[in-house]
Chains A and B, each alone.
Chain A
Amino acid sequence: MKSKKLAIPYMLWMLVFTMIPLVMIGFTAFTDNSGSFSLSAFADAFQYTNVFLKSLWIALISTIICLIIAYPLAYMISQMKKSTQNTVIMLVMIPMWMNFLLRIYAWVLLLQSGGPLDTLLSAIGIHGNYNNNTVAVIVGMVYEYMPFMLLPIYTVMGKIDVGLIEAAQDLGSNKVAVFRKVIFPLSVPGIISGITMVFVPTASTFVVAQYLGGTDDIMIGDVIDKIFFANNHTGAAISLVLMVFILIFLVLMNLFGDEEAIA
């Protein structure tokens, strides 16, 4: 009973700052300016179907690239000496102390024509602007969100009992088999939470595409950013659709995770 009483402030917090805003978004999405029930906001929202799909696509690609980079890195770090591990994790974390926008500006400067990359490639006769395209957006996304993939995977890998690895060796596993049959299956929960922590924010983020993307690469977050104050009904409708998509994605991920744990 005591623990329930202690939970009351948190419940109130959730009610005021999570449930009520959600209901308000839902209400706004399903009404028009006069306040009566209407689906027109959703009709407007579907003008942005392409932006939607593109956003989810970019998020997916960024998440996969983050995973490809972070997983082997996490494994390598977990194999290092404890003191070295802390240093490397520190190095991964330090850029995150810098302001998000500042890091995006840095990429703009790096990639724009006349920037370091251009200057370098000009030396061998290739000129160009490497900013304002989908690849630049993905590079920015991966750079921003990679630590969110690395940390959960690293944490899970660090917790794998050395005894299990020894048991696997004892039963005849070589290094490859130890990885395939013990380390990988036990690190799946880390992969799942890493994917969640990268995919959800990348799908709904704004600013990254505004600065690094071309005119075609605007993302759904930027759309909401632009139109919400002009037309909050459409803005709310887009948010709601995005939420549903993310929810579906999360449910799928969890299903996959459970199956993996059982198999």
Chain B
Amino acid sequence: MEQSAKKVIVSLKDIFLRFDGEVILNHINLDIREKEFVTILGPSGCGKTTTLRIIGGFLEPESGDVIFDGERINSLPPNKRNVNTVFQKYSLFPHLNVYDNVAFGLKLKKLPKDEIRRKVKHMLAVVDLKGYEKRPVQKLSGGQQQRVAIARALVCDPKIILLDEPLGALDLQLRKDMQMELKEIQKSTQKTFIYVTHDQEEALTMSDRVVVMNNGVIEQIGTPEEVYNEPVNAFVADFIGEANILNGTMIDDCRIRILGKELECVDKGFGKNAPVDVVIRPEDMMLTTPEQGQLVGVVEKVTFKGVHYEMSVRCGKCELLVHSTSSAKIGETVGMRVVPFNIQIMNKLLPFYDNIIETEVISSSEDENWLEFTLEKETVRAEGHFYPAGTKLRITLPPEALSLAGDGDGDLQDVYIESVVYKGEHNEIILESDERKWLMLSDTDEQVATYVPLNFDFSKAGFEVLEAAASEG
């Protein structure tokens, strides 16, 4: 590929970082090449801004290496790095006018006055702010302040420009214009841009490569086409664009079963009868007559979106999203076809479905029919089950047995919501506690990257004795 011919300019190797004992970046590896426009994309709290601040020099990783142009620069302060940042809130100096804001970095480099003047004038022309030199920065509009911030970073002629959600504060139309302009500026100045955003559309529009992050890890790195068309897992598929994400079973190479139907696909190497996640983009669903359809369902909702109709089709218990230029009536039975190439097969986010705990009963009561065991330093009581203290148990909790405690007092406190993926029927929620991950089903939308209390319903759990309690004589 043409891309890989270019030299790697900055490289993050096994970066690990914690704040207050909480893992923010979990062994990140990332290579960024010269003249590349790379976007780090992810929901808030995923560690994307932290990654940027490590490259900028505002944070030092706990372990791992930051390599810039072949040199390790972990603890090099920001002022000594050949990197400049466009900050989220612009951070323009309120006591300086436009000219002095842009000239700030050049004056520190002690360049001759007329050279500074020439460079600033040129850069203001590049960002389309000719004649604004004497204006106080507070009197500028959001878009203009943004341009000043970009000019201020560019004029220092760094190797890399870091942009931390720079368009977040602008309204939609201005944001779209600025996206185009940023891409133009990046092309004409031939600089490496590292851009952080939570807006997937922005990422797809501007980037040469997209880095999708979640919960402190990189989920996927690829071109916009790759992350959209070939997401590696349900999280990426869900985060980028609209998608039908379904549970499926890989019967054999190129044979997949979803919604009780066997379909042809093009993916191989998942093994036989392996549970997988399947992605079908709504625009890849073709409406047909019920007789011709691979899948058959009833139209429940139709919304006109301008370019296409968005339809929600119920297929058994499952809801499918279909984009089509032709409309169907609500209540109408329709068929749907997908070409094999458009069925994307992915490994499950978790290697298990049922949540399994292996533990030992610490106390129990036969009369009242309960037992207690320790789970991640908390004592959990299971009502309705009795085994003598000391019994080693394997408890199988299916995803339905997990719920979020509404009263704020759960069996496990402060469990982190890592991802929420809608599977047509339920949301599949992946939770992370101190020591492990959990899979839960929910009909409500939960907020990702928040902490919640988790409850277990032991009436739905399976109990298996691994080792009986030693009798006490």
Bound-state Cα–Cα, A187 to B85, Å? 24
* Chain A min CB distance to B120 (Å): 13
Is A122 interfacial (CB-CB < 8 Å)? no
Identify which of A163, A169, A177, A181 contacts B78 (C-beta below 8 A): A169
Min C-beta distance of A251 to chain B, whole Å: 22
Contacts of B87 in A (CB 8 A): 163, 166-167, 170
Assess whether B152 is interfacial by the CB under 8 Å rule. yes
Write the chain A residue with the least CB distance to B103: A171
Most buried by B among A164, A171, A186, A261: A171
Query: In the assembled complex, which residues on chain B have CB atoms less than 8 Å from the CB atom of A177?
Result: 79, 108
Instruction: Using CB atoms, name the residue of chain B closest to A169.
Output: B78
Write the chain B residue with the least CB distance to A263. Answer: B95
Given the known interface contacts A172-B105, A173-B108, the answer about A167 and B156 at a Cβ–Cβ threshold of 8 Å is no
B58 and A185 within 8 A (CB): no
B385 at the interface (CB under 8 A from A): no
Given A166-B87, A167-B85, decide whether A172 and B108 contact each other with a Cβ distance below 8 A. Answer: yes
Contact size range, B = 20 to 34
Task: Report if B282 contacts A (CB, 8 A).
Answer: no
Q: Is the beta-carbon distance between B58 and A171 smaller than 8 angstroms?
A: no
Q: Say whether A174 faces chain B, with CB atoms less than 8 Å apart.
A: yes
Other-chain contact of A173, B57, B79, B92, B152 (Cβ < 8 Å): B79
How extensive is the interface on chain A, given as a class?
10 to 19
The B-contacting residues of A in range 148-191, CB under 8 angstroms, are: 161, 163-164, 166-174, 177, 181-182, 185-186
* Complex contacts, A170 vs chain B, CB 8 Å: 56-57, 78-79, 83-85, 87, 153
Structural contact, B91 and A172, CB atoms closer than 8 A: no
Given the known interface contacts A172-B108, A172-B156, A174-B79, the answer about A167 and B95 at a Cβ–Cβ threshold of 8 Å is no
Residue B109 at the A interface, CB < 8 A? Answer: yes
73-99 of chain B: CB within 8 A of chain A = 77-79, 83-85, 87, 89, 91-95
- Which residues of chain B come closer than 8 Å to A181, judged between CB atoms? 104, 108
A181-216 to B contact mask, C-beta < 8 Å, 1/0 = 110011000000000000000000000000000000
Q: How far is the CB of B145 from chain A (nearest CB, A)?
A: 12
Residues in chain A near residue B108, CB distance under 8 A: 171-173, 177, 181
Q: How far apart are the CA atoms of A55 and B95 in the complex, in Å?
A: 35
Chain A proximity of B141: nearest CB distance (Å): 19
- CA of A171 to CA of B85, assembled, Å: 8
Instruction: Give the Cβ gap from A8 to chain B, nearest Cβ, in Å.
Output: 33
Query: Are B95 and A185 in contact, CB atoms less than 8 angstroms apart?
Result: yes
Q: A170 vs B52: C-alpha distance in the bound complex, in angstroms?
A: 13
* Other-chain contact of A164, B77, B93, B156 (Cβ < 8 Å): B93
Within the complex, what minimum Cβ distance (angstroms) separates B68 from chain A? 15
In whole angstroms, what is the CA distance A261 to B89 when docked? Answer: 22
Q: Within the assembled complex, what's the spacing in Å between the Cα atoms of A218 and B51?
A: 65
Min CB distance, B159 to chain A, in Å?
14
Give the residue name and chain of the B residue nearest to A160 (CB): B94
Taking each of B77, B79, B84, B105, which has the highest tally of chain A beta carbons within 10 Å of its own beta carbon? B79
Select from chain A the residue with minimum beta-carbon distance to B83.
A170
Q: Closest Cβ of chain B: how far from A171's Cβ, in Å?
A: 4
Q: What's the Cα separation between A167 and B85 when bound, in Å?
A: 7
Closest beta carbon of chain B to A263's beta carbon, Å: 9
Tell me whether A163 and B77 are in contact (CB under 8 A).
no
Q: Which B residue's beta carbon lies closest to that of A166?
A: B58
CB of B373 to closest CB in A, whole Å: 40
Q: How far is the CA of A163 from the CA of B58 in the complex (A)?
A: 11
| Whole-angstrom distance between the Cβ of A256 and the nearest chain B Cβ | 15
Q: Are A169 and B77 in contact (CB under 8 A)?
A: yes
- The docked-state distance in angstroms from the alpha carbon of A167 to that of B108 is 13
Instruction: Give the residues in chain B near A168, CB-CB below 8 Å.
Output: 93, 104
Q: Which chain B residues numbered 36 to 90 have a C-beta less than 8 Å away from chain A?
A: 56-58, 77-79, 83-85, 87, 89
Q: How far is the CA of A177 from the CA of B94 in the complex (A)?
A: 17
Identify the closest chain A residue to B155 (Cβ): A171
Q: Least Cβ distance of A26 to chain B in Å? A: 40
Q: 8 closest pairs, A vs B, by CB?
A: A171-B105, A163-B91, A167-B91, A172-B108, A169-B78, A185-B95, A170-B85, A172-B79
